[in-house]
């Protein structure tokens, strides 16, 4: 193999490697964006769960107060 052929072969390998690294970068970016989206959805769901839990606690308190008032009136 001549020096020119060696250089051409190495250049081709570097081009392939560069392409592979670029693809991996794009895949990682896609995964990062998906993870961010999923985390945002999970955060939103947790906020809704927390709100529902607070509302249920308030309803429970009101029901207990109503039951107590009803017992006292009997």
pLDDT tens, position by position, 12-41: 999 999 999 999 999 999 999 999 999 999
Alpha carbon distance 32, 29 (integer Å)? 5
pLDDT for position 14 = 97
Q: What are the DSSP calls for 3-68, one per residue? A: HHHHHHHHHHHHHHHHHHHHHHHHHHHHHHHHHHHHHHHHHHHHHHHHHHHHHHHHHHHHHHHHHH
Measured CA to CA, the distance from residue 74 to residue 58 in angstroms comes to 25
pTM: 0.64
């Amino acid at each position: 193999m001549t020096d020119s052929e060696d250089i051409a072969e190495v250049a081709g390998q570097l081009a392939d490697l560069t392409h592979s690294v670029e693809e991996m970068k794009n895949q990682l970016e896609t995964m990062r964006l998906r993870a961010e989206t999923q985390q945002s959805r999970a955060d939103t769901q947790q906020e809704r769960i927390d709100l529902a839990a607070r509302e249920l606690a308030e309803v429970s308190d009101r029901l207990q107060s109503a039951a107590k008032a009803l017992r006292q009136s009997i």
